[in-house]
Amino acid sequence: MLTHGFRIGIVLVISLFVSKPCLGGAIDVFDGQKGTIKIAGGTAHIPVMKEAAKRIMTRNKDIVITVAGGGSGVGIKQVGEGLVDIGNSGRKAKPEEVEKYGLKMFKWAVDGVGVVVNPANPVKSLTKDQLKRIYAGEIDNWSKIGGVDHGITIYTRDEASGTRAVFWGRALGKGEITTSALFVPSNGAMKTAVANDPHAIGYVSVGHIDETVAPVALDGVTPTLDTVKSGQYSISRGLYSNTKGDPTGLTKLFIEYLLSTEGQQIAAEKGFIPVK
Amino acid sequence: MMRVFMEKMVEYLSWALALLLCLSVSVFLSYLLIKGLPSLGSELVFGKADPLSALLGRERVFDGIFPAIIGTLCLVVLSTLMALPLGICSGVYLSEYATPIMKKVVGGLFDVLAGIPSIVVGLYGFSVAIFLHHHFSDRLGPCLLISAISLGVLVLPYIVRSTQTSLEELPAHIRHTATALGATRLQNIAYVLIPNALSGISSGVILAIGRCAEDTAVILLTGVVATAGVPSSLLSQYEALPFYIFYISSQYTSPAELSNGYGACLVLLGICSVLFMVAHGMQKRLFHWALYRP
Amino acid sequence: MRPSKELLAKSVFLCCAIASAAIILAILGFMVALGIPLFRESTFSAIWSGPWAPHRGAYGIWAMISGTFWIAFLAAMICLPLSLGMSFVISSLAGRRVRKLLGALVRFMTGIPTVIYGFIGIFLLVPLIREGLGGPGICVLTASIMLAILISPTMILFFTDSLLAVNAAYVQAAKALGANRVQRLLYVMVPRALGGMASGFILALGRALGDTLIALMLAGNAIRPPQGFLEPARTLTAHIALVKAADFDSMEFRSIFACGIALYLFTILATIAVRMMARERVAVS
């Protein structure tokens, strides 16, 4: 409900803003602007952030946009503490976080969280129960679920990760994650790790899945853009950019850019589902 | 008989182990060269931008390591500028003025600092940045300046200790001639002792520079980011070469990016090994000539 | 005029020395001030010996302390024979030219950036270990091997220096008595150089304990005390790098400070040990 209201609000704000100067290229609004935008947090967002930053910085040399990762938790904390201007998160900020920091959330894309394995791995389908038991450390060999006779290397993310929070809540049902799991710091690193390790299992933002890793069907549904869009694949989440209080100046322009036609196009190009 | 056998064994084993070490290092280096050499070129540094206009700051570089190189360069220059005067003066004081007890206490402190893991220095820099952010200005936070200060602290002991030891090791005839001829203590230090100890001091400084260029742990906590472009001010976040390598190693998105990583490795390795080689092979005469020409 | 200039110079030097010392003490002071809450009864055992499970409110760093020691000691153990061999060869077994060449190689190795060892480790060593020995490949052993090579120049330089510092008269005397190169090395030089070699070992071990990047990139960062060489582990240093806290009050921040304090303590202990050994050596000679 809340997000819905938000979205309408955002659309209103933007239509107010965009309608006046231009409709063709939203990037025009950055002309004549000057300053720095610091972005940190969610690592699923990084490809989109980088592309948007690149386009804006190429057009206007007086604007500097820095992009760092860290995970959703870090993004929310850092924007709350005022260390960055925009803190990205791959999950909704918790009510206590919103209250403590006075956060404003802007959802600009929908994404899923999918289980991935190495393309060489014959196991391409699991039930939720099997997945739970793999992550709990009870199933520790691929042969027990129809794969080769080799130990399973489990990859996970740290507590700051929104991807982990969504995966843990929705796919594992808040079940235990074995302490022998290997940690990687970002969605990009998860994909690389699984692509390089033939016996790995991991979970990653659906937008990041490409031919280097193989998606695993969960209870018969393969995580792809389409299944997430149609709602068939249930482990989905919004990608948010958060600001402390209402955004102002450049930060405001940047968030509007993400929600503009061009920004939404970038999101789609990078494998996410635009909200508009 | 047993003894002879053992002696022979020690000899062969030593050679074998030494060879093993040489072999592994050469395998590492040749692996890096084979993978990295093809990517070396202006595209590695400048991406698709035009080199000249990028250098002049007219065009921004996105897919190259140019911003990272500039970031590392800024870090090295800033932190050396901070640590150098402080370190050399402290070294002179410890060697020429300090009482034995002071030497022991302060020298001990520097030994401790030299051994502190760099990530702890980074943690310190990070805490200071957060502290400043909370209590002074919202604009402060992890940034180039904080990183440079932390790196300066990290390399301070190298400079202090190399200054101190190279002054203390000067033979008595150099040390006392000028004073015997009526020079004051300061004149003796400035015109005789420091010039004579210059090679030792400068190799310490160059080691410090190399350390600033290669350290990743400190900057990891104090403001380095994945994309920032060329740093625009002391308070901005920045990119750096070692962090770029670290970042690419875990999250390259395409074979091209990975091979950029190998290229960046070669560039960093080149910078660092040249610095270290110069530090070790430093010729005293050359420096003496360069700085104190008649 | 002159005396005042002298005085000025002296006070400038003094100020610099005091400032540098103050920086070091400031780091210590900062650590202690921020770390005091860690030593309160309720948090003490939870942080130092408990498990790490933030979602359950448990912020223990025991697994990291264990991981640190596993990786560092294994690295030192791998490094020791390599360094002994290399330093024996450089100090006495090899001829002049080979000696020079190897010396140059070791000096060159001191200049190789840590992150490059990590990079090579990921793409060269990890697949080798995974295929050859099984397991995930990203494990204690992989990190230790790379770390061993990283710290080997420190050990080799210290070993070689202390072997060559042995009084030439002893070596000549042994030579006159008909001892060959290996015998001179084993029975004359090594026994006398043991003190210096021990300092080198401790210093190298200290470097291994304090290194961040190798373990961060190659050890897998799992939050469980490792049970074997092929298991992943997380070190204190990597933990500091991974847990990014932005507020002083959170337990995450306290726990990474506990890591910092633990590392600081290891460093001080190692420094004291090396200094005491150096004093003993001076006393002996």
Q: Which DSSP letter does residue C56 get?
A: G
What count of CB pairs under 8 Å joins A to C?
55
Contact flag B217-C241 (C-beta cutoff 8 Å): yes
Q: How far is residue B233's CA from residue B237's CA, in Å, rounded to a whole number?
A: 9
Give percent of chain A with pLDDT exceeding 70: 91
Q: Strand (E) positions, C217-265?
A: none
User: Model confidence over B16-53: pLDDT tens digits?
Assistant: 999 999 999 999 999 999 999 988 888 888 888 888 88
The secondary structure of A15-43, three-state, reads HHHHHCCCCCCHHHHHCCCCEEEEEEECC
In this predicted structure, the answer to whether residue A3 has a pLDDT above a threshold of 60 is: no
Determine the Cα angle at C260 with ends C258 and C263, to 5°.
110
Provide the shortest C-alpha distance from residue B70 to chain A (in Å). 15
* pLDDT tier, C2 (very low <50, low <70, confident <90, very high otherwise): low
Structure token pair of residue C187? 């029975």
Q: List, as one string, the DSSP characters of A199-251.
A: TEEEEEEGGG--TTSEE-EETTB---HHHHHHT-S--EEEEEEEEESS--HHH
Choose the mutation target among A30, A64, A157 for the interface with B, i.e. most B CBs under 10 Å. Answer: A64
Cβ burial of C114 (10 Å; 0-12, 13-18, 19+) is: buried
Q: Give the residue ranges of chain B where pLDDT is below 70.
A: 281-294
Please state the ipTM of this predicted complex.
0.88
> What are the two backbone dihedrals, phi and then psi, of residue C284, each rounded to the nearest 5 degrees?
-65, -45
Chains touching chain B through at least 3 C-beta pairs below 8 angstroms are A, C
| Residues on chain C touching A200 (C-beta within 8 angstroms) | 136
Contact flag C2-B123 (C-beta cutoff 8 Å): no
Res A30: pLDDT: 87
- Using the Cβ of C275 and the Cβ atoms of chain B, whether some distance falls under 8 Å is answered with yes
Choose the mutation target among C123, C124, C244, C255 for the interface with A, i.e. most A CBs under 10 Å. Answer: C244
Contact flag C89-B265 (C-beta cutoff 8 Å): no
Contact flag B120-C263 (C-beta cutoff 8 Å): yes
| Residues on chain C touching B179 (C-beta within 8 angstroms) | none
- Using the Cβ of A63 and the Cβ atoms of chain B, whether some distance falls under 8 Å is answered with no
Res C31: pLDDT: 78
User: Model confidence over C111-156: pLDDT tens digits?
Assistant: 899 999 999 999 999 999 988 988 888 999 999 999 999 999 989 9
Please give the residue that has the higher pLDDT: either A212 or B111: A212
Res A17: pLDDT: 47
Q: How far is residue B264's CA from residue B245's CA, in Å, rounded to a whole number?
A: 7
In this predicted structure, the answer to whether residue A12 has a pLDDT above a threshold of 80 is: no
Nearest one of C227, C229, C159 to C199, comparing CA atoms: C159
- Using the Cβ of C118 and the Cβ atoms of chain A, whether some distance falls under 8 Å is answered with no
Nearest one of B110, A249, A59, A245 to C271, comparing CA atoms: B110
In this predicted structure, the answer to whether residue C93 has a pLDDT above a threshold of 80 is: yes
Please give the residue that has the higher pLDDT: either B134 or A89: A89
Question: Which residue do the tokens 């300090």 mark?
Answer: B98
Q: Per residue in B237-260, is it b (16+ CB within 10 Å) or e — as a string?
A: bbbbbbbbbbbbbbbbbeeeebbb
Look over chain A and give the mean of its residue pLDDT values, rounded to a whole number. Answer: 87
Res A89: pLDDT: 94
Q: How far is residue B174's CA from residue B151's CA, in Å, rounded to a whole number?
A: 35
| Residues on chain C touching A136 (C-beta within 8 angstroms) | none
Q: How far is residue C224's CA from residue A179's CA, in Å, rounded to a whole number?
A: 5
pTM, two decimals, is 0.89
| Residues on chain C touching A160 (C-beta within 8 angstroms) | 243-244
Res C244: pLDDT: 73
C-alpha pair distances (Å), B258 with each of A58, B62, B267: 24, 15, 14
Question: Which residue do the tokens 């051994």 mark?
Answer: B115
- Using the Cβ of C84 and the Cβ atoms of chain B, whether some distance falls under 8 Å is answered with yes
Please give the residue that has the higher pLDDT: either A229 or A18: A229
Res B288: pLDDT: 47
In this predicted structure, the answer to whether residue C42 has a pLDDT above a threshold of 80 is: no
Contact flag B273-C260 (C-beta cutoff 8 Å): no
